[in-house]
Chain A
């Protein structure tokens, strides 16, 4: 009898939790921190954030065509603004949840020096970056190389990932010796974990402002509003900072 009661309770809890699910589209670079934040969010509020990870541009196309996402955590600030203008996002909700940092990274321990001089010296076959046309971190990498005056000479060595997660995969498998990825992907305990890297100085690229927005489908949904409020809170900020992001 006790068992039956426990089972009933568990079932009821499951039903209750499902009622408060929120469908979240998350930019690939924010995968690590968002998994931690979603767990904290569920523990504190009882709401469950169901996460999908991918390229911001792809999410835009899906949302504009009726994808059932209720919140978007973009890798830029243009996509949320555009979604609001086009009526797919709720006006007044976009805010910057994190400021991304770019890092030149290699899985080999001694390849990338602390000043990033390897970009001028060369001696590698492939340089990975996210597609600059669609991924903000790719555009930032192009900007940095442009300001260093190495964009044209390095161009023949470019290999492009579809998003920043795939770019990191190219580098971590060693298929590309080095590449521009998000600091959040390679940070461990406040520093670059494996391999070698150069945190690209912030005067070499425009700030990567990553905005979150409530989407039309999440309008009037308490769980969606709760998630955005949670992202602005101290607990989430601590996680975001620990992954190497800047904050407003």
Chain B
């Protein structure tokens, strides 16, 4: 593997780490709300979160390119804030990936919260724990397997992202050229030996991640992996 390949691997790991951290921060309140609400909006929010499961990455990539471009609403906002435009930047990829991997993090956590039920939280309330306290000292520890599944799946899914990156990334070394794009380039340039190194590495990595998930977290696998 040459240096551009290592740079792509490093960038991919960096992207997946940042995205997973953000997804846990953004996804947890969404999962909590979805698990406990009786609001009529539950179906709508749940469906929006799950959209990336069924939409082709080309659809997401196309709309992200347009909304984040200079004529789109997000593009106008980031320009007005002095942040420039998001397409072809690392932060742009991070935001796209957060959308793209959202269901893979929200759904396992939501399932874990739902599985807790009312009683442990009622018990916490009778022991005079406030909602915030009960969330952190009862719900989060009990939902730990859900968090683990969500984090692993979110990370792995971001590593495996391709279509969106191709559409809004622009293939820039150290900024948007992730492993999947680098493999595609190698194949198109007929550099099959280099392609094999990276592609084989991806197969091994993905297998080990799923093996870890299924071995150490067997109770949740049925529900959480689509």
Contacts and interface: CB of A to CB of B under 8 A. Distances in A.
A61 B70 contact: no
Nearest to B68: A175
B133 interface: no
A175 B85 contact: yes
A119 B184 CA distance: 29
A18 to B, nearest CB: 29
A111 interface: no
Interface residues of B, number: 22
Given A175-B87, A176-B170, A133 B189 contact: yes
Contacts, number: 62
Interface string A124-136: 0110100101100
Nearest to A79: B190
B166 A162 contact: yes
A57 interface: yes
B69 interface: yes
A133 B170 contact: no
Nearest to A58: B188
A230 interface: no
Contacts of B87: 170, 175-176
Nearest to B184: A162
B193 interface: no
- Contact-residue size bin, chain A (C-beta under 8 Å from the other chain): 20 to 34
B225 interface: no
A40 interface: no
Interface string B80-112: 000011011000000000000000000000000
A61 B190 contact: yes
A121 B66 CA distance: 28
Contacts of B184: 162
A131 B87 CA distance: 17
A8 B164 CA distance: 46
A7 to B, nearest CB: 37
B125 interface: no
A55 interface: yes
A159 B171 contact: yes
A162 B187 CA distance: 12
Contacts of A134: 185, 188-189
Interface of B: 65-66, 68-71, 84-85, 87-88, 166-168, 170-172, 184-185, 187-190
17 contacts: A55-B188, A57-B188, A57-B190, A58-B188, A61-B190, A125-B85, A128-B170, A131-B188, A162-B166, A162-B184, A166-B166, A169-B65, A173-B65, A173-B71, A174-B69, A174-B71, A175-B65
